[in-house]
Amino acid sequence: MSAPGDDSRPGPARPGPSGPQPPRPPARPWPRWVPLAVLGVLVAVFLFTSIGSGRGGQTDLTFSRLQEQVRDGNVRTLEYDPSSGKISGELREAVDGSTRFRSTGPNNDFQPSFVELLDEKSVEWRYTRTETNPIVNILVWILPVVLIIGFFVWMNRRAQGQMGAVMNIGRSRAKVYNAEKPKTTFSDVAGYSAVKQEITEVVDFLRSPQKFREIGARIPKGVLLVGPPGTGKTLIARAVAGEAGVPFVAITGSDFMEMFVGVGAARVRDLFQTARKQAPAIIFIDEIDSIGRKRGAGLGGGHDEREQTLNQMLAEMDGFEGSEGIVMMAATNRPDILDPALLRPGRFDRQIMVPLPTLEERIEILKVHFRDKKIADDVSVEVVARGTPGMSGADLANLVNEAALFAVRRGATAIHKEDFEDARDRVLMGLRRPTVMMNEEEKEHTAYHEGGHAVAAYVLEHADPVHKVTILPTGMALGMTQQLPEEERYSHDREFLNDMLCVLLGGRVAEEVVFSTQSTGAQNDLVRATEIARRMVREWGMSDRIGPMAWGSQGAVFLGEDLVHTRDYSDETARVIDEEVERILRTQEQRTRELLTRFRPGLDAVARALLEHETLDGLEVERLVDDAMGFHAGGPRKLRGPDEPVPADTAPDQPAGSEVLSPTPYAKRPPNTT
């Protein structure tokens, strides 16, 4: 399937009486240059005022120096401004290059004694008043008025915007795409031929509903797409709209929720009114589990607003007839928490499973993502697809993109095989941490730990083959053993699960066999092994003491279950379950210990190779074990069960030249994973 996250959607359109109308353009704000122009005018006015009242070629005199000039008879005229205390006038002879002078400051003392001195020296003097700039007077009166008016205009616009939002709060936020805009078709959806065939009836009904009406057939009102995240449920819904050539009304479940009670129900009504105007049309609700959860479940008896929204949706789905030409589609990855009333016939009549892609489907999906990439000749799409079991369409898109990024980092002009290997390791195991430096003791412990996983996975019959083993710190682990299945599996028998437990316990047992100690590196292995053993006993009926009885896993509150989950078995049964889980783990631990003791030479060979090369692939692990154990070149010797005899020459008590380190625990080691 093509990239689920790559559907670029065109802009929304508002529904109108005769079809979708273009959205109303928003009110254009003031241009950015307007406030800058106003600020520039104000600065120019004040600069003009200051220049007009500047020196203008005058000489500044202090009051004491001015008195000396008066006594010397050098002052011809004098003007005094009482409001500002400024004294100016004209000199008979130039001082400092100018005959004009002025004297400003707080020390100007225009007292009667100074007036008598002026009269004595026959100086013409008079009182004057400086006229202010008329532009400044205008600004002083007009600018506050303009600011007040602007403030009220801004408040009015803000209030109108809030009022418009309040009035439109009950309108649906659905995006309407008309018949010309959905360009996605079934040809853009790689794989999933069964899903396409099952959903073709909906497309035929929307294209030509008349032939269904003539026979009296009733098309399902609702189609629920169920599948894991990333499988492309939304893309399939868009492809249905593109194939049928009808308007597509899309919305997510969270768009109905609002802080005001009743808004969700109002939006549901508006959604169906919009769809009726566009009929025939498709209503698509993504993540419907956000509003379609079981009513009355969870803390406090549920959420009233969500339940009212669900009730309105149930009523609307019962309200429209199939003849209206409206088909409702929804997508979820949690169908178990949906309300039963939502899934009954007459509402979501049909559930279509969109599972993880198979090998053939992964090949088709990868071909779609290879279209716009420069792929080298050494890359085989079949090999890449075989090495990605359990990946969804979104995971495959991410894998191809990561490979392209690795190619760019290397400076290559095309994506090579090694880029896909690095990208798969990055996706499955995590980012390699070159800054983590282990000492020799930790490195040897890690080598034997990963060697225990690898040897157990190689010699056990039902275990998945080893793909890669590394002791380079990756993700949260100091080392990693990666297994890839040879073929697709959809169910697992007890033998496979027992071998899986042995592989998980192989790292811990290898450290016990070689170093006679235990470390924190097996934390993740023990968690996974305990979970598998518990499910074998409690859910899969693989315990002789429990028998053919099963109890599902306990659900969490936020998934729609009750706050208090009652246990439907007794305390005695719980004790038996714990004992059986312990028995299974103890049995497989002892089996793994015997296995690694028998294959100790192969374990030492793999560990030494890891210490030397740090990374080994599956073929190298097989060769090392075969050479160390003296197996023939015809292939590996698989153990069919814990009681299979092994030749005496393949199980020495202690290999020659091996070195056993003294036990040294290290508590700060990060959890290791298989």
Active site residues: 450
Are 585 and 442 spatial neighbours (Cβ–Cβ below 8 Å)?
A: no
Rounded CA-CA distance 601/457 in Å is: 16
Cα dihedral 33→39→40→43 (10° resolution): -170
Pairing of strands 248-252, 281-286: parallel
Is residue 296 packed enough to be buried (19+ CB in 10 Å), middle (13-18) or exposed (0-12)? exposed
Rounded CA-CA distance 466/616 in Å is: 10
Cα–Cα distance list, 117 to 75, 114, 125, 323 (Å) = 11, 5, 11, 113
Rounded CA-CA distance 75/90 in Å is: 6
Tokens representing 31 are: 């241009």
| Residue 224 φ/ψ, nearest 5 degrees | -105, 120
Rounded CA-CA distance 440/627 in Å is: 26
Cβ neighbours of residue 201 under 8 Å, at least 6 residues apart? 219, 220
Q: How many CB atoms lie within 10 A of CB 530?
A: 16
Are 138 and 146 spatial neighbours (Cβ–Cβ below 8 Å)?
A: no
From 269, 286, 219, select the one nearest 7 (Cα to Cα): 286
- Spacing of C-alpha 398 from chain mean position: 13
HEC sequence for 544-584: CCCCCCCCCCCCCHHHCCCCCCCCCCCHHHHHHHHHHHHHH
DSSP 68-129: HHHHTT-EEEEEEETTTTEEEEEEEEEETTEEEEEE-STT----HHHHHHHHHTT-EEEE--
Tokens representing 158 are: 């803000």
Rounded CA-CA distance 635/197 in Å is: 44
Rounded CA-CA distance 16/215 in Å is: 34
516: left (phi over 0), alpha (psi -120 to 50) or beta: left
Cβ neighbours of residue 451 under 8 Å, at least 6 residues apart? 469, 510, 603, 606, 607, 610
From 459, 508, 451, 478, select the one nearest 658 (Cα to Cα): 451
3-class secondary structure, 53 = coil
From 104, 100, 80, select the one nearest 90 (Cα to Cα): 100
Is residue 631 packed enough to be buried (19+ CB in 10 Å), middle (13-18) or exposed (0-12)? middle
